[in-house]
Amino acid sequence: MMEVLHCTVNNKPVEVGIDPRESLADTLRERLGLTSVKKGCEVGECGACTVLVDGVAIDSCIYLSVWAQGKTILTVEGLQNENGELTPLQKAFVEEAAIQCGFCTPGIIMSAVEIVGSGKRYTRDELRKLISGHLCRCTGYENILNAVERAVDEAHKFVGKA
């Protein structure tokens, strides 16, 4: 039995048929072609499938698509502007060499979007804890942490100039 999911994905209204037992990760990847959403463990442990739902980072592999009814979903594909330019957060990942194989990167970036968007300052240890739900097989954690810390710092410098 199919249901129709009405939501907003990457700032665009979406209407898509789904199986009520389907994970949001499956809907985003298979039905909407948003391949930044990775399927790693499929039990909510690795963070590769992280997306924002109404501004909150969630593991989309254990989040049913039916729960997204009427909600706003953001994936990495929704971060770039019309010109295709990277966001300051994405640029920080490139500049800090926080990308190795790239499998974990989209999920970590989405968690970092939530972290930066909070407007809070964090210690390095707090940031380490905030990204601890992500597994990086290439052990790039220090560079990832550097990139998130840089993005938070840059966001605060920008806010301070406003």
- 10-residue averages of pLDDT along the chain (162 residues): 96 97 98 97 96 98 98 96 90 94 95 95 95 89 95 79 46
Give the DSSP H/E element, type plus range, for residue 147: helix 141-161
pLDDT value at residue 82: 81
Q: Which residues on neighbouring strands pair with residue 9, listed in sequence order?
A: 12, 73
Residues 59 and 31 reside in one and the same domain: yes
Residues 53 and 113 reside in one and the same domain: no
Residues 106 and 52 reside in one and the same domain: no
Give the domain CATH number at 53. 3.10.20.30
Full strand arrangement of the beta sheet holding 56-59: 12-18, 3-9, 72-74, 50-53, 56-59
pLDDT value at residue 8: 98
pLDDT value at residue 139: 79
pLDDT value at residue 70: 98
Residues 67 and 99 reside in one and the same domain: no
Residue 129 burial by CB count (10 A; 0-12/13-18/19+): exposed, middle or buried?
A: exposed
Where in the sequence is the domain holding 97, given as residue range(s)?
Answer: 88-161
Handedness of CA 35, 81, 146, 9 (dihedral sign): negative
Residues 32 and 94 reside in one and the same domain: no
Q: Is 162 helix (H, G, I), strand (E, B) or coil?
A: coil
Give the DSSP H/E element, type plus range, for residue 52: strand 50-53
Residues 60 and 102 reside in one and the same domain: no
